[in-house]
Amino acid sequence: MPQHSKENILAGRKAVDVYRADHAKLYSKPWHRSIPQEHTPLLDKLQGELKEEGFKSLAEFFDASEELNKMEASKMYRREGECNRCGKCCRTCKYLLETGECAIYDDRPQVCIDSPFAMDYLGGLPKECTYRFVRTDYKSDLDVEWR
- Closest CB to ligand SF4 among residues 27, 121: 121
Rounded least distance, CB 102 to ligand SF4, Å: 3
Partners of 78 in the β-ladder: 134
First vs last Cα of the chain: how many Å apart?
Answer: 21
- Closest CB to ligand SF4 among residues 26, 104: 104
- The total of other beta-carbon atoms located within 10 Å of residue 73's CB is 22
Whole-angstrom Cα distance, residue 29 to residue 141? 35
Rounded least distance, CB 61 to ligand SF4, Å: 29
Please report, as ranges, the residues that interact with ligand SF4 according to CB under 6 A. 83-90, 93, 95-96, 102, 104, 108, 112, 116, 126, 128-131
Rounded least distance, CB 90 to ligand SF4, Å: 3
- Closest CB to ligand SF4 among residues 30, 124: 124
Whole-angstrom Cα distance, residue 64 to residue 30? 35
Q: Tell how far CA 77 is from the center of its chain.
A: 15
